[in-house]
């Protein structure tokens, strides 16, 4: 079908041989050192020490998941540090992905997760019609959403930040974006946030994070608004990009569950408290966002602390 040049074929053979020698596809063995969050392979260590729930109530959502042997998670494949598929291993890596695996282990006893890639507008429907058990996808808890889904958590608190080219000096806060062209990911929460914070900004959208970064570097906009975690990773490995100021929104991420299932919500909240206390939460952070942010893990947000949770 596709013919490889001789060099490529040799490299492919070598790569296959290397993979065979190291046994299972060692996911840390990426050929590209610039990849954030791919290093370490400590997810396995995390999972080894992860708790497993004792006796699930019969007939509960958890018991059904255990019977199925697989947790269905609504998530992304293309959110670096949060939920990004590693093409080498096929595994999905990052903060959200790790929490999904830990929750699966807690319920089933094994970290068996199937990620259902969801376009971000349809998550409420995915949960309510049972396509997924939970949504773990930078899903900000809001009172409006809480009318349609139940939120466990928040499990992580983030916010939107502004990135510019490193030599930009005129943009320090969202108000400075008025009258300028601002880049945002298509269908991301950044669009309404910019419209609110800088009504006179012109928004131009692109399909993915690297496209937005490329557009910023090529001058298609003076600023790029995106989740703090994602932009930290970008700014860390690309010195021509700089983050300006502090997050201007607070986005408490929750785990979306079926509306009205209080039993499941309490169960997930108890699990979150348990892994926060045992230090596992901090390890998950270290394994993902901690690979680009210096210092210790922040204090996790208090469960049920925001309206809608």
Partner 1 sequence: MSSSPTSRLLFDDPGPRARRRIRITTAGTLLAGAALVALALRQFAENGQLAAERWEPFGTWPMWRYLLDGLWSTAQAAAVAIALAMAGGIVLALGRTSSSRWLRWPAAAYVEVVRTIPALLLVYVVLFALPRYGVNMPLFWKLVVPLAVSNAAAFAEIFRAGIRSVERGQLEAGLAVGLTRGRAMRLIVLPQAARRVLPSLVSQSAGLLKDTSLGYVVSYAELLYSGKVLANYNHLLIQTYLIVALIYLVVNATLSKIARTLEARQRARPVRAVRDAAPGAPAVKTS
Partner 2 sequence: MNVITDHLSEFGDGLLLTVELTLLALAGALAAGIVVAAMRVSPVRVLRAAGMAYVETLQNIPLLVWLVIAVFGLPEIGVMAGLFTSAVVVIALYQGAYMAEAIRSGINAVPAGQGEAARALGLTFVQSLRLVVLPQALRTAIQPLGTIAIMTLMNTAMAAAVGVVELTAAANRVNLAEAQPIYIFVTAGLLYMALSAVFGLVTGALERKLAILR
Q: Both tokens of residue 140? A: 């900000």
Measured distance CA(145)–CA(265) in Å, rounded:
15
Q: Smallest gap, in angstroms, from Cβ of residue 181 to partner 2? A: 10
Alpha-carbon span 267 to 181, nearest angstrom: 45
CA distance 206 to 169: 24
From the CB of 299, what's the least distance to partner 1, in Å?
29
Q: Which residue has the tokens 């270290």?
A: 286
- The token duo for 3 is 């013919």
Contacts of 278 (CB under 8 A, 6+ apart): 51
Output 26 or 215, the one with its CB closest to partner 2.
215
Asked if 121 interacts with partner 2 (CB under 8 A), we say yes
Residue 70 in contact with partner 1, rule: CB under 8 A: no
Write the DSSP assignment of 149-202 as a string of letters. EEEEEEEEEE-EEEEEETT--S--SGGGGTTSEEEEETTSTHHHHHHHH-TTPE
Is 240 one of the binding residues for partner 2 (CB under 8 A)? no
Pairing of strands 71-75, 113-117: parallel
Tell which positions 253-292 bind partner 1, by CB under 8 A: none
Please, how many CA atoms are within 13 Å of residue 259, restricted to the half-sphere of its CB?
A: 14
Q: Which of residues 153-192 bind partner 2 (CB under 8 A)?
A: 186-187, 191-192
Which 8-state DSSP code applies to residue 239? T
x/- mask, partner 1, residues 10-39, rule CB under 8 A, reads -xx--xx--x-----x-----xx-xx--x-
Centre a 10 Å sphere on the Cβ of residue 136 and count the other Cβ atoms it contains: 30
Q: Given the complex with partner 1, which of 117 and 173 has the nearer CB atom?
A: 117
**Rounded least distance, CB 167 to partner 2, Å:** 18
User: 51, 69, 207, 245: which one contacts partner 1 (CB under 8 A)?
Assistant: 207
CB 172 to partner 2: min, Å: 25
- How big is the chain by its Cα radius of gyration, in Å? 20
Shortest Å distance, C-beta 191 to partner 2: 7
Assign 45 to helix, strand or coil.
helix
Query: Which of partner 2, partner 1, none is residue 17 near (CB under 5 to 8 Å by kind)?
Result: none
How many amino acids of this chain bind partner 1 (CB under 8 A)? 45
Number of residues counted as binding partner 2 (CB under 8 A): 15
Scan residues 204-223 and list those touching partner 2 (CB under 8 A): 204-207, 211, 214-215, 218-220
Residue 240 contacts partner 1 per CB under 8 A: no
Beta bridge partners of 182: 203, 223
Q: Is 142 helix (H, G, I), strand (E, B) or coil?
A: coil
Strand partners, 206: 185
- In the bound state with partner 2, the residue whose beta carbon lies nearer, of 220 and 273, is 220
Where does this chain bind partner 2 (CB under 8 A)?
A: 121, 186-187, 191-192, 204-207, 211, 214-215, 218-220
Where does this chain bind partner 1 (CB under 8 A)?
A: 1-2, 4, 7-8, 11-12, 15-16, 19, 25, 31-32, 34-35, 38, 76-80, 84-88, 90, 116-119, 121-122, 125-126, 129, 131, 207-211, 214, 237-238
């Amino acid at each position: 079908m596709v013919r490889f040049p001789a060099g490529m074929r040799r490299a492919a053979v070598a790569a296959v041989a290397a993979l065979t020698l190291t046994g299972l596809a060692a996911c840390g063995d990426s050929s590209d050192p610039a990849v954030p969050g791919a290093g370490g392979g400590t997810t396995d260590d995390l999972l080894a020490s992860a708790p497993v729930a004792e006796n699930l109530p019969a007939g509960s959502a958890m018991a059904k998941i255990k019977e199925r042997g697989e947790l269905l998670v609504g998530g992304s494949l293309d959110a670096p540090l949060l939920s990004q598929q590693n093409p080498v291993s096929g595994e999905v890596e990052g903060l959200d992905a790790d929490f999904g695996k830990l929750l699966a282990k807690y319920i089933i006893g094994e970290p068996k997760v199937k990620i259902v890639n969801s376009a971000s507008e349809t998550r409420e429907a995915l949960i309510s019609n049972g396509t997924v058990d939970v949504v773990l996808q930078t899903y900000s808890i809001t009172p409006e959403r809480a009318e349609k889904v139940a939120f466990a958590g928040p499990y992580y608190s983030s916010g939107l930040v502004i990135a510019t080219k490193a030599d930009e000096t005129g943009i320090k806060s969202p108000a400075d974006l008025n009258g300028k062209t601002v880049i945002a990911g298509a269908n991301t929460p950044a669009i309404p946030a910019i419209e609110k914070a800088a009504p006179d900004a012109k928004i131009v959208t692109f399909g993915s994070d690297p496209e937005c970064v490329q557009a910023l570097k090529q001058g298609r906009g003076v600023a790029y608004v995106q989740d703090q975690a994602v932009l930290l990773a970008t700014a860390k490995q690309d010195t021509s990009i700089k983050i300006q100021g502090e997050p201007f929104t607070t986005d408490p991420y929750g785990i979306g569950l079926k509306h009205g299932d209080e039993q499941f919500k309490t169960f997930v909240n108890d699990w979150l408290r348990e892994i926060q206390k045992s230090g596992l939460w901090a390890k998950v952070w270290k394994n993902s966002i901690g690979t680009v942010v210096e210092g210790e893990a922040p204090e996790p947000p208090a469960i049920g602390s925001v309206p809608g949770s």
